[in-house]
Amino acid sequence: MKSQRRHELKTNTLAQALTDLPNTGRRYIGPVLVAAIVALLVVLLVRYRIDSSRRAARESAEALAEARQSIVELRSLPWWRAQNQEQIANQRKTIASGALAAIDRAFTDSKDRKVKAEALVARGDLNYQLANFPALPILTTRPSLGPDQDTKTLLDQAADAYQDVIDHYADQKEAVITARFGMAAIAENRGDWDTAKKYYTAIKDSSDASKAMQDQADNRIKLTAKLAEPIYLAPATAPATNESAAITLPTTMPAPAIATTQPATTRGS
């Protein structure tokens, strides 16, 4: 009798549980579903941010490479071909505009300090190259084909970019060394030999510079010391002799080192 009673109670309890199962499911399925959706959204958001970061880094690196290639193309323009002056002038404008846009993209889109520092160096290189691009005779009659800024402004903009690297990206050792080469090149361009020597000396004494960079800086120090020496011209009526020959001014000055992202191999003098 008792066993039958126990069996009936268990049966009633199971039946009641089965009857209440839909209500129980409805009571718990809502929070579980919400939690699952939230977890899925978190995973998707993290994945999106990772993918976006990788994509931005890749695009910034590609933009920087594009800018560097444009600067190389700018240096290679055959400006000496008189018959193609208008074409050369237009190519210079197109290349410079594309390079500047690529540099801006690399600097703005990247969060990597290394990329930002290298973009600033590239900006300095671009402006320095434009400042030192030979004047085309066609500009005397068609000045609109020339650069948008004059030589002084371009050199000032190059110096600002290099100095920004030196002042704000000290942790990017290679970029700082390159920027110092750039500042020294600008100083040479201006005939400011003392300032050029200061930057070359900083490179020579830097433990962050490679041996090749230090040697190159030392060679430039010696060269700028010679260029800084006063030149004495003999009186026009005094005959030159083997013992006291008049020193003539050089027809061209040695080209200053152009800052690049690989100074050890591209800034030879």
232 vs 253: CA distance, rounded Å: 17
Q: Hey, what are 85's tokens?
A: 């002056």
195 vs 204: CA distance, rounded Å: 14
Could you tell me if residue 197 is inside a domain?
no
Could you tell me if residue 72 is inside a domain?
yes
Could you tell me if residue 260 is inside a domain?
no
> Coil, helix or strand for 80?
coil
Could you tell me if residue 21 is inside a domain?
yes
Number of domains in the chain: 1
Could you tell me if residue 37 is inside a domain?
yes
Tens digits of pLDDT across the chain (269 residues): 555 555 454 455 545 554 554 555 555 566 666 666 766 666 666 666 665 666 767 888 899 999 999 999 998 888 777 678 888 888 999 999 999 999 999 999 888 999 999 999 999 999 999 999 988 888 888 888 888 889 999 999 999 999 999 999 999 999 999 999 999 999 999 999 999 999 999 999 999 999 999 999 999 999 988 888 776 665 544 444 444 333 333 333 344 444 444 444 334 33
Could you tell me if residue 267 is inside a domain?
no
Domain residues for the domain of 86 are: 2-190
Could you tell me if residue 216 is inside a domain?
no
Could you tell me if residue 222 is inside a domain?
no
